[in-house]
Chains A and B, each alone.
Chain A
């Protein structure tokens, strides 16, 4: 049939009753693993978030139960509110751009040409560099006397340095830009591999019928790529909401707490202020937000 071992457009499911037990058998190791090692930390954090935990009570295990007190304080706190909107903004913009750029690159690379292999592995660079290094690069890049301002000033596009990370409103956008760069390889690889699974004949026959490049993308590729796109977006959401190192290295959530995400705020509460209860509460809110996003995306999964 197809040389590329790819799919016919009719994926299906096994509905044989006998199959059900087998399915559980196959799924067992993952479920066990996840329940043991994934669920316990979650419960642990929920436990902490309901208590007023400080350094000493943490070590001696004598923290006082306060119910939803931590949560109430958080939602009333303007820094937390800002963090909430920051995280949504950061995630939304990052995914939008990372996905689009990754998709366009995957389409571009979906043909053979000289040096393709080399260029493809070079695109992985943002992801492969240790985050301490890429983070530090961006911190320097965005600084008042850094590369971006230097470039803009040299070409007379601006008159005075723009405070990318030394002002109140810009830092969140600057870290978003850095994060977009970081996420391109991930989106690229997943979408590219997905594209490989689309049989050439389909595209060729569409061409014969007179379809242009973009029409092929919209009406053939995208629908066939649906599971891959959903997986990419889901994972993208999860990873982006979680991003910690990058933002921490560039701004530490500052200046003055304006560029915090849930992850950095939680870390700062835990290890700078030693408020472990509140830190866990922030994390639980983060988990709920991701759960919501994931559930929404899950609705789009086609069930046959």
Chain B
């Protein structure tokens, strides 16, 4: 293995390590990030029950609730991470280190993915046990494929956002905040996205979780014909395309934004 490839891979592991270990070392984190989001998801479950929704919708909400963990992770721990790192003084160390910023972002993504998957599994399991949701695992292979392609596209998007956030100061916090509820709405986290109509759903498909969620719901609840926006195969191909576009463009965006941030003196700026 050439030295540069080895360094790239070691950087990924080094950046992923504190995410995975740190998240599980602090017990209160596990509580706050699993049990309490489950309560928020449960509110939507009871709302559906209150208005007499079919039981499949309970499963739909549980899956949506579990996937919110990924969106929040991408927003706060990927996109805004370089802003936090700038505040903490780590960003200058990243830039000065003899490695690639892309590898650091990939490490953040890998660590975040592992960390968040633990939370998502707990939410889905608790939903299954508490609310008796019946998932179909007939298409488990396709389900796994959909999940991984969705994650590749989603974290690719996070890496692209991270480069943009590199230039931001205090507004980064508010922008991440702003991208929560509107995306929960547009991507259909708690209802089938096709209820928004074709064009809105198509536009929302730029966020990989829109199609990823829709495909996973179709696979987990194959008897419910009301969930699907596009066919699963089409959605997977679009997600593959999004993954490639986001990851490649994040590389170019990162190089450009880093250069601009150096020129404008934003790398060490702490506007608070």
Do A and B make up one complex?
no
Chain A interface residues toward B at CB < 8 A: none
Chain B interface residues toward A at CB < 8 A: none
